[in-house]
Amino acid sequence: MSQDAAQCPNTQKQVAVVTGGARNIGQAIALRLQQDGYQVIVVDIVKPEAKSLQADARQVDLADADVTRLVMTDIGTRYLVTRLINNVGIVAPALLEEARLEDFDKLMHLNVRSALICTQALLPAMKAQGKGRIVMNASRVVLGKEARTIYSATKGALQSMARTWALELAEHGITVNCVAPGPIATSAFWQNNPPDSERARRIIDNIPLQRMGQPEDVAHAVSFFCDERSGFVTGQTLFVCGGVTVG
């Protein structure tokens, strides 16, 4: 941590970074963390929809490794970041025979590689403070889902990295956990599952709680993992899916 960062007035408040925080689940997480008292920095390719998130936001293509590393290193220098939510992710639905190698690279770079780059950049500040919370947005697809070969591979990778990081970072007071949402009513969900489609009706009918999840449901789970009082919970995955995994 640089001397300038230590003297910066922005460091007087705990800072949380949310990748992909401009819309949908990421926005709900960012707004919830603001309510919890954090200064939130959204890092996304688009401008945040919520006005309260716009002032500190950084517009970055997180699939670009060099730019991502540069921006995240700058954030780590300017702010005492204690919370990192690796939320950004995209889906490329396709059955096994139709899965494309170009989509494999695209999803791995954005969904997985960005998490590694962001965490490496912000880790020195957390270690220096002897505390931190890292939360990965995985998905219930880690348990298997049709037409999600590549997407499930990326989310499974995040879950595996989280368990490894939890072991490596425990001695520094840093916890690493996953939330695994699904199905959640986001624009991406409805794009892949049109509301009037048989596929959408089948998904909703199979939810034990008989409703779609909301982005705020996931945000509440993230808030729990970020809480100072959750320091004895690490390496875990919390499924936020209305009971789908129970059956």
pLDDT higher than 50, residue 6: no
Start-to-end C-alpha separation, the chain: 48
- Name the percent of the chain lying above pLDDT 90: 88
2 pLDDT above the threshold of 80: no
CA distance 118 to 113: 9
CA-CA distance, 131 to 123, in Å (whole number)? 10
Owner of token pair 């603001």 = 34
10: pLDDT strictly greater than 50: no
Cα separation, 117 vs 86, in Å, equals 10
Sheet containing 132-137, strands listed edge to edge, beginning at the edge strand earlier in sequence: 58-59, 39-44, 15-19, 81-86, 132-137, 174-181, 237-240
Mean predicted confidence (pLDDT) in 217-238: 98
β-sheet bridge partners, residue 136: 86, 178
- Does the active-site annotation cover 151? yes
Selected catalytic residue, list 151, 189, 225, 239: 151
Q: Of the candidates 11, 65, 50, which has an alpha carbon nearest to the alpha carbon of residue 219?
A: 50
**Could you tell me the maximum CA-CA distance found in the chain, to the nearest angstrom?**
58
